[in-house]
Amino acid sequence: MSMSMRFCFAWWTRQAQVAETVDVIIRNGNAPDLPGMEWEGKYSRYRRLYKLAMDEARAGRRIILVAEVAGQIIGQIIIHLNRADPTATGYLYAFRVRPEWRNRGIGARLIQEAEAALIRRGYRRALIAVAMNNPGARRLYERMGYSHFAQDAGEWSFIDDHGLLQRVVEPSWLMERSLPG
Ligand SMILES: CC(C)(COP(=O)(O)OP(=O)(O)OC[C@H]1O[C@@H](n2cnc3c(N)ncnc32)[C@H](O)[C@@H]1OP(=O)(O)O)[C@@H](O)C(=O)NCCC(=O)NCCS
């Protein structure tokens, strides 16, 4: 399935005192987007995870949404679908927006599009884990109707782009939202 949503954002630029209009496209991510999702090396450690997610997306088990401006990937969110029980929960993760594009509503649009994709597939609940030391992201989720229902030790591991095992410990809040039927 291919989806492309085009949003026209107008921002008031402080320096020029003029309204700047920028096209932000939110669409499904494809294999050619993988290098752009690494942000010039900042996230190359997740190369294998993103490749796996892309393979899973082709098999219908994940959805990858990217936000693009003038050919550059400036944001992303991945949705893990629970195909064993498609009425259950979609898990949102790997959510981020490039620092220079934050605080313009792009993160909120990515979440809204992720939820819309879940609703189209009959999912009734979205879940997201947010690190306890990330109150800004938690505030965004709360504003978007998510509430915290549990804590998670946030312990997981992955193989990085050098083939090395990396362990992560990131105590998190689990946040959920019921999706409209
Ligand atoms: C979390 C993250 C994805 C949010 O992306 P974003 O594009 O900045 O999100 P939004 O712009 O929709 O919302 C962020 C803030 O901007 C504000 N905002 C939204 N539209 C705005 C606009 N047009 N003008 C000014 N502010 C705006 C929102 O009200 C919100 O304010 P808050 O900080 O008081 O909550 C981004 O901060 C990020 O990548 N962080 C690092 C990675 C991360 O923490 N990911 C989440 C892991 S759980």
pLDDT digits (tens, 9 = 90+) for 109-144: 999 999 999 999 999 999 999 999 999 999 999 999
What is the mean pLDDT of the segment spanning 89-118?
A: 97
Ligand 1 atom at minimal distance to the Cα of residue 106: 7
Distance 99 CA to ligand 1 centre (A): 9
pLDDT of residue 1: 43
Judged by DSSP in three states, 91 sits in: strand
Closest CA to 60 of 5, 120, 1, 112: 1
Task: Answer whether 134 contacts ligand 1 (Cβ < 6 A).
Answer: yes
Q: What is the mean pLDDT of the chain?
A: 91
Least confident of 30-39, 75-84, 107-116: 75-84
pLDDT at residue 181 above 90? no
What is the mean pLDDT of the segment spanning 154-168?
A: 97
Task: Answer whether 77 contacts ligand 1 (Cβ < 6 A).
Answer: no
106, 97 in Cβ contact below 8 A? yes
pLDDT at residue 8 above 50? yes
Task: Answer whether 103 contacts ligand 1 (Cβ < 6 A).
Answer: yes
pLDDT of residue 11: 61
Give the domains, in start order, of the chain with CATH numbers: 4-178 (3.40.630.30)
What's the one-letter identity of residue 147? Answer: S
Task: Answer whether 154 contacts ligand 1 (Cβ < 6 A).
Answer: no
